[in-house]
């Protein structure tokens, strides 16, 4: 693999990871459903559950964003190469 293609794919991968981490961290400090806790569940317990859920969501968004953006970047590079060589 060419070093230019490899570095572009790494950049796509990193950009997707940063975007996923940012999207996942946005609601971590103050989750939207924070005030609507179920009856019979203490405030601390419910907030701990929410934090755990949003941390898991952040990791999934980071991994998904990284893999997805690397795949899209590869597709764009493949499309550009086909256009270049089909002339």
- pLDDT tens readout for residues 9-66: 999 999 999 999 998 888 776 666 667 777 888 888 888 888 898 889 999 999 999 9
pLDDT of residue 72: 93
pLDDT of 81 reads: 85
Residue 58 near residue 28, CB atoms below 8 Å: yes
pLDDT of the residue at 26 = 80
In whole angstroms, how far apart are CA 10 and each of 20, 38, 64? 15, 44, 15
Q: Please give the structure tokens belonging to residue 67.
A: 């893999």
Global pTM? 0.78
Q: What is the mean pLDDT of residues 65-86?
A: 89
């Amino acid at each position: 693999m060419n070093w230019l293609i490899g570095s572009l794919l790494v950049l796509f991968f990193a950009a997707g990871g940063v975007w996923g981490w940012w999207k996942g961290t946005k609601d971590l400090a103050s989750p939207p459903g924070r005030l609507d806790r179920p009856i019979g569940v203490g405030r601390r317990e419910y907030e701990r559950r929410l934090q755990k859920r949003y941390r898991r969501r952040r990791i999934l968004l980071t991994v998904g964003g990284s893999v997805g953006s690397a795949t899209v970047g590869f597709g764009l590079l493949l499309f550009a190469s086909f256009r270049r060589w089909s002339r």
